[in-house]
Chains A and B, each alone.
Chain A
Amino acid sequence: AQTVTQSQPEMSVQEAETVTLSCTYDTSESDYYLFWYKQPPSRQMILVIRQEAYKQQNATENRFSVNFQKAAKSFSLKISDSQLGDAAMYFCAYRTTDSWGKLQFGAGTQVVVTP
């Protein structure tokens, strides 16, 4: 069974600074998908960024980028130029290619942005 581990319960960052959230996963699959979801206080789940395992190039979405290390089974999220609106819980998630799309989530990392 796949597991997703987020070892940082909370990370604090100052506005305009950069913060990196870590995520590791355990799988025997060679092809899969990885995601970061943001959950603000409203508790809605918002897709931030996604990565296909077969792609070596790290995904980037504006101020959000990932560092995908397949051999190490690591998928970290970097938030650059942090803004107050980035304050939220961030979940790393894993999805295989041969399931019916089930996502396995990590426990989450709370990001606190200070002015």
Chain B
Amino acid sequence: EPEVTQTPSHQVTQMGQEVILRCVPISNHLYFYWYRQILGQKVEFLVSFYNNEISEKSEIFDDQFSVERPDGSNFTLKIRSTKLEDSAMYFCASSERRQGYGYTFGSGTRLTVV
């Protein structure tokens, strides 16, 4: 069964550093998403991406964050100047269609900011 692949599985970074979280969506999917889950809290939407541009973003997704699809396979989330409160699990997801069924999540990247 096709999978969404995220790397790394765990990243530790110092406060103020930039991090790039990487995702390889399912190959025929067109819609891409990033979600965040702070430990013990609910899963929160960050951003959706389609046709090489952001289609929707949440209030959390401020200027500190950016997304990119640099080639035909990767989908990245960049966090500039990380803060302690950015420590969370970050999930990438992809969907074949805009409407309809739920989408496939990756296994997540645990980001720890120290």
A contacts, CB < 8 Å to B = 33, 35, 37, 42-47, 50, 91, 93, 95, 97, 99-108
Contact = CB atoms under 8 A, between A and B. Distances in A.
A50 B99 CA distance: 13
A58 B22 CA distance: 37
Contact of B50 (A33, A46, A100, A102): A100
A103 B108 contact: no
Interface residues of B, number: 30
A38 to B, nearest CB: 11
21 contacts: A33-B100, A33-B101, A35-B102, A37-B105, A43-B37, A43-B110, A44-B107, A44-B108, A45-B43, A45-B93, A45-B108, A47-B102, A93-B102, A100-B48, A100-B55, A100-B98, A101-B98, A101-B103, A102-B33, A102-B56, A105-B44
Contacts of B31: 100-101
Contact of A102 (B42, B45, B108): B45
Contacts of B107: 42-44
Nearest to A103: B45
A102 to B, nearest CB: 5
B55 A50 contact: no
Interface of B is mostly: strand
Interface of B: 31, 33, 35, 37, 41-45, 48, 50, 55-56, 58, 89, 91, 93, 95, 98-108, 110
A36 to B, nearest CB: 9
A78 to B, nearest CB: 19
